Each structure stands twice: as C-alpha cells, then as structure tokens.
Amino acid sequence: MKRIGFIGLGIMGKPMARNLLAAGYPLAVYDIVPAAMETVVAAGATAAASSREVAAQSDVVITMLPNSPEVRQAVLGEDGVLAGARPGLILIDMSSIAPLASREIAEAAAARGVRMLDAPVSGGEPKAIQGTLAIMAGGPQDVFDEVKDILGKMGSSVTRVGDIGSGNVAKLANQMIVALNIAAMSEAMVLATKAGVDPKKVFEAIRGGLAGSTVLEAKMPLVLAGNFKPGFRIELHIKDLMNALDTAHAIGVPVPLSSGVLEILQALKVGGKGGDDHGGIVQFYEDLARIRVREH
C-alpha cells in the first residue's frame, strides 16, 4: 500500500485526508497552521514539520491549497516537496489553480524525477466529508491509472480529462457554471419572493423540471434557511473566476456572464461577506430588491 502525504488541511483537505486514513492508507500530514493537523493526527496520521518532510516519507503527495502561489511555495520552495522527494514520487495537486501554473510546476517536478497530476475537485465540504467529490484530473494516463484507486477514496467520480493542466481547465469551466447557476437561482427566487409567492413552493415546483440542477438542490435549502456558513467561500470563488477570466482572455475567449458574476462576488466581499458560502450570492439580489428569500 502506497504511503501518502497530504499538505493543506483546510475546509476541504481535512475531510479528504480523513477519508484516506479511513481507507487504511499510511498518512503523513502538514499544514502551515499547526492546529489544523490536530484532528487528523488524532485519527492516526503522522505530523510532519514541512512539505519537504512529508515528501521524504511518502510515495504519493497530495496538495490541497488555496491558489497558485501557495502550491508553488509548497512544491518548489526551499522546504518544499521537491526538496524531499525521491525520483518516482507522484505529486497530485488537488488545489484549484491556474492551468499554466500546473504546467510550470509539472515541468519543475519532472526535472527532479517526480510525476504529477493536477486533479481539482468539485462538491464542496459536504461531498469532501462523504468522499463523493467529483475529481477532474490532468496528466499522463499511466500516472492516473496508478493513483486512481487513491482518488476514488475521496471522490465518487474520477475522470482523466487530458494532459497536465486540463484538470484545472475543467475546474474553471465547472466554477463558471456553478457561479452562473447560483446567480440565476438567486435572481429568480428574489423575483418570486417579491411577487408574493413562497420561494419554497417555487423550489418544489421547478426542481423536477429543466431548471432543476445539483446546484439548486444543494443551495436552495440553505438560502431558505438563511444559512451561509461556508462550504465554499465567496472569496475562493472569486479566485477561481479570476483564474477563469485570465485564462479566457489569454486565449481570446470572451466571458461576459462570468465577468458579471465576478463583480457581484466582489461587491459581496467588499460588503464583508467574502467568508460566506457562495450560496450567499442571493444576498446581492436581496439587497437590491429589499427583500429576503426565506422559508415562510
């Protein structure tokens, strides 16, 4: 059984690491916030003092970090993964970062004999806890085949999209669709509520039709309850959409709808709501219409 290292134990990383432990994998963990390691170590993981130390005792290293700069530091830094890696180690970056950054990190890794996949996820904290994430991977087929079973302990859908970087392209597409879905749901439900119709009844009426979606099922109950506890924070969705816009503009793809939702998210962040769940997009529309979408 492969020894796994896990770097980044935030909202998503912690339950993902715990699912690997539950599956019986030997696990070494590291986070720049020592307290973040406590519950995973209590569940059986070994604490490491750096990313370098994680790599030194692992066959596979998984990173789950906020953005490209953090992944670069964790992998390429003085005490990073490559400093402690042996040739043949597999690096799986499950962070959502810019596709170009994935390719650059993979090139540096290859120079040290380290193979890499970019394998971002979708599903938020609930599916991370359940081990039912959707995982979209980019990288060599043989590397993907070697670690697919490991990925399957964290996700119920594990798909190789193409070469390195393509996993993050798929994630950017996912994040665009999710943001636009939440915004459309929010706009429609504010309309229904302002028109005097119970939004819960509207939800029940449309969920089985063409407007039904995973986003609607996941987010509408939280909106009705006024629960914006973060499963996926607005500030992180801003990061993903900024990466999407940068990538789109670099290859000449106009993305007007995504640009508009990004500005809505930015407005919410300026208003102090960057730490809310992205289902909190509804608050932007609620403030405009001066009404709250809640269960009657």
Distance, CA of 117 to CA of 167 (rounded, Å)? 8
Contact 279, 222 (CB under 8 A): yes
Contact 92, 119 (CB under 8 A): yes
- Which residues belong to the active site? 171
Q: Which of 78, 118, 75 is nearest to 94 (CA)?
A: 118
Distance, CA of 58 to CA of 27 (rounded, Å)? 8
How is residue 159 annotated by DSSP? E
Contact 188, 248 (CB under 8 A): no
- Non-local (6+) Cβ contacts of 33 within 8 A are 9
The amino acid occupying position 212 is G
